[in-house]
Amino acid sequence: TVSRFLTTYFGLYRMINALHEGVQTVVDLDTALIDLKKTTTMNSNELSSFYFEANDAAKELGVTTQEIITQAANWSRLGYSDKHGATEMAKLSSQFAQISPGMDVDEATDGLVSAMKAFGIDVDNVLDGVMSKINQVGNTTATTNQEIVQMLARSSSAMAAANNSLEETIAL
């Protein structure tokens, strides 16, 4: 009888805990979407569409939907507030963090935005114009993507002002 009671108790506890986690996930997603709505130029239909795209991207990248939405809000604050810019950059910064050991999404965002702003790279050229170049050097030399991104975050503007290209800056 004691074992039945404990089994029932722990089963009930697990159900309540799962329900609580589900409610917390919904609250976190709602908070992230409200933050995105405050910072973006997207209308309600675009935000609704973005949510489903973010969910698909999160599954594809192995991150949470909340992380994609939060990244989109962060990119929106950095000036990429249209649906295309915020969506693409949220996906790319998450992807870049995933392929770069030791780098978190915020660090990936800092490095990418520094390079984009300093060297005038638009959203559609980030994958081939920045990420691929960093990844190639990080995979073939005695440095990591994280170290390259940290250097870009600190020195992109100065290097661009000295008429150096992104490729030359990464090579240094």
Mean pLDDT for back-to-back runs of 10 residues, the chain (172 residues): 76 82 77 78 82 86 85 83 83 89 88 90 89 91 91 90 90 82
Helix axes of 145-161 and 132-140: crossing angle, nearest 10 degrees: 120
pTM exceeds 0.75 for this model: no
Q: What is the pLDDT of residue 87?
A: 83
Cα 66 from Cα 58, distance rounded (Å): 8
Q: What is the pLDDT of residue 163?
A: 92
Q: What is the pLDDT of residue 20?
A: 80
